[in-house]
Amino acid sequence: MEIDEAIEDHVRTAFSAAIGHNPNDLKAALGQIDARDFPVAVSYAIYVCGYIVSDVFNGERRDTGIAEMAEYVVADNKEWVDLGSAATVAEFLKAAAAGDMTSAAVAGDEVAGQSFVIGGYLLSRFRHAGQRWFEYLDDIWNGHQATQH
């Protein structure tokens, strides 16, 4: 996938709102995305989730580690958003890490919101030492672009 800068800007804004635990800003950010661009924006967010899972576990899918990661995601966000059970989030993370843009565990109408909330959390929580979340995101996009050429 080629990264569209205009769509990516909306994705970045949505991640920022999620990291700030601001549901109104997240809703506004997602509302700014054109309907035809929305599936692309969601695919970017899911890609980020999958990338981070792979990065954290060095490319190996570790079910126990993913389950633990999901527990952190749910617990650390429960005061501002209900992501469902840790098991549901773990299934989403496994699907994202496998490059699956859909997750049977997450209802279709919830995938978009979950992908941005979970992606924002993962960017903030698992960024590399000395990085800000948006620098980690830049590294993810740069790594993706390098594999496309």
Confidence of residue 100 (pLDDT cuts 50, 70, 90): confident
Q: Residue 108's pLDDT is what? A: 59
pLDDT tens digits for range 119-137: 999 999 999 999 999 999 9
Domain span at residue 132 reads 5-148
Query: For the chain, what is the HEC assignment?
Result: CCCCHHHHHHHHHHHHHHHCCCHHHHHHHHHCCCCCCHHHHHHHHHHHHHHHHHHHCCCCCCHHHHHHHHHHHHHHHCCCCCCCCHHHHHHHHHHHHCCCCCCCCCCHHHHHHHHHHHHHHHHHHCCCCCCCHHHHHHHHHHHHHHHHC
Q: Is the pLDDT of residue 95 over 80?
A: yes
Q: Residue 113's pLDDT is what? A: 82
Q: Residue 110's pLDDT is what? A: 73
pLDDT tens digits for range 15-70: 999 999 999 999 999 999 999 999 999 999 999 999 999 999 987 778 899 999 99
Q: How many domains does the chain have?
A: 1
Q: What is the pTM of this model?
A: 0.91
Q: Is the pLDDT of residue 149 over 90?
A: no
Q: Is the pLDDT of residue 109 over 70?
A: no
Confidence of residue 101 (pLDDT cuts 50, 70, 90): low
Q: Which phi and psi (to 5°) does residue 50 adopt?
A: -65, -40
